Every structure is written in structure tokens, then in C-alpha cells.
Amino acid sequence: MPRSTTPDPNITDGVTSRGVARRERLLDAARDVFLEQGYAGASVNEVVARAGGSLATLYKQFGNKEGLFTAAMERHISTAWAVLEEGRRDHQALEQVLYELGRRMLTLVFEPGVIRLVRGLAFEAERAPELGELFLTRGPDQTRQALAAYLSEQVDSGRLDLYDPREAAGMFMGMLLGEWHIDALLGRHVRLDETRCNARARRCVELFLSGAASAST
């Protein structure tokens, strides 16, 4: 009797659904441990204890602690810039896409665990600069690059008039985080709630577009 050629619905690209679920549990646990304890204090044993499974599985999936950190933080941060792809897919208005990106970024960046993590990485970077570079490359840099690509598309379509979309992306992010970020990193209490974050995102979009909108729009 010939073997069935019907693909197993529990296997995707050679990875079983059980394997995908195991990886997701490890990433969820790693995110929590890194945000609670920082990079230096985080233990892969603690990640496995929370997620279940074994150290062998963790090392097979991610290689080492650095690889686990990279994957966990990249996935965590991608929840913000995924809004750009959603905007393309759903043909959302430029203003709405930038507003939603700003709102999500403020929620993400000012999460207490993220502030603690960045403080710790700044301290660790003196001893191990590759850790700071790793975080910057997989976090802020990717976010700016994703936004720059989106802004470049808006320039090509005639909606924006920008000399350098990459620089403009950095300016937008800098305006968004502004004085709140340095205050929070240095321990000053920054009272943020959904209403205040939404208002900040809205004002930043208005200011940005007032200087970047194409004369033809």
C-alpha cells in the first residue's frame, strides 16, 4: 500500500506543533525572567523551571543564554513594529499607523521590566559591550529600520516629503520617548497611564506630519 502524501497538520516546516508550543513556552518564560532579573541575573535554569522541559532542549533551540535573550527580546519588541505590517495589510491611514506604533512603543518601552533591563544592560555594556550592541541591533535598530522602510514607502507614494526616511524614523522615535525615557532610566518616577500615552502619541504624530507631509496631500 503506498504511503499517504497528505501532510501531517501537526507539522509545519519540519517542526511539530508540540515543538512550536515548547519553544513559545520557553520564550514566554525567558521574557519574564530577563525582565524581572535583568540579563546578568537571569538564569537559564530558572527559565526551564518555569517553562518545563530540559536544558538540552533550550540549548538545542537557542544555542546559549545570549541566543535565548536575543530571541525573547526580539519577539517582545516586535509586537510594536508589527503594527507597520498590519497597516500595509489593512490599508490603514498613515496617521493611524503612526499613532498605533507610538502608542505601542510607549507601552512597551516604559514597562518597568524593560526599564530595569535597559539600566542593567547599560551597566553591563562597560564590561561586555557586545551585550549592548546585541540589544540595540535586535531592538531599537530593528524598530527604526522597520519604520524607515514604511516611511520610504509613503515618500514613494507621494504622501510624505522626506529627505532621509531613516533619519526621520529616528526623529519620530526620539520625539516620542523624549524626556520621559531619560527620567525613567535614572529613577525618576514617570506617571504614565493609557490616556497620557495616547495623548503623547497623538501629539507626536501631529507634529511629525506637520513638517513631513507632502505639499500635494
Strand pairing partners for 15?
12
CATH homologous superfamily of 65-212: Tetracycline Repressor, domain 2 (1.10.357.10)
* pLDDT, tens only, 186-215: 999 988 899 999 999 999 999 999 986 655
Mean pLDDT, to the nearest integer, of 159-173? Answer: 95
| 127 has a pLDDT exceeding 90 | no
DSSP letters along the chain, please? -PPP-PPPTTEETTEEHHHHHHHHHHHHHHHHHHHHHHHHH--HHHHHHHH-S-HHHHHHHHSSHHHHHHHHHHHHHHHHHHHHHHHHHHT--HHHHHHHHHHHHHHHHTSHHHHHHHHHHHHHHHH-HHHHHHHHHHTHHHHHHHHHHHHHHHHHTTSB--S-HHHHHHHHHHHHHHHHHHHHHTT------HHHHHHHHHHHHHHHHHHHB-TT-
| 138 has a pLDDT exceeding 80 | yes
What CA–CA distance (Å, rounded) separates 74 from 142? 9
* pLDDT, tens only, 29-82: 999 999 899 888 999 999 999 999 899 999 999 999 999 998 988 888 888 878
Taking the complete model, does pTM exceed 0.85, yes or no? no
Higher pLDDT, 41 or 3: 41
Residue boundaries of the structural domains of the chain: 65-212
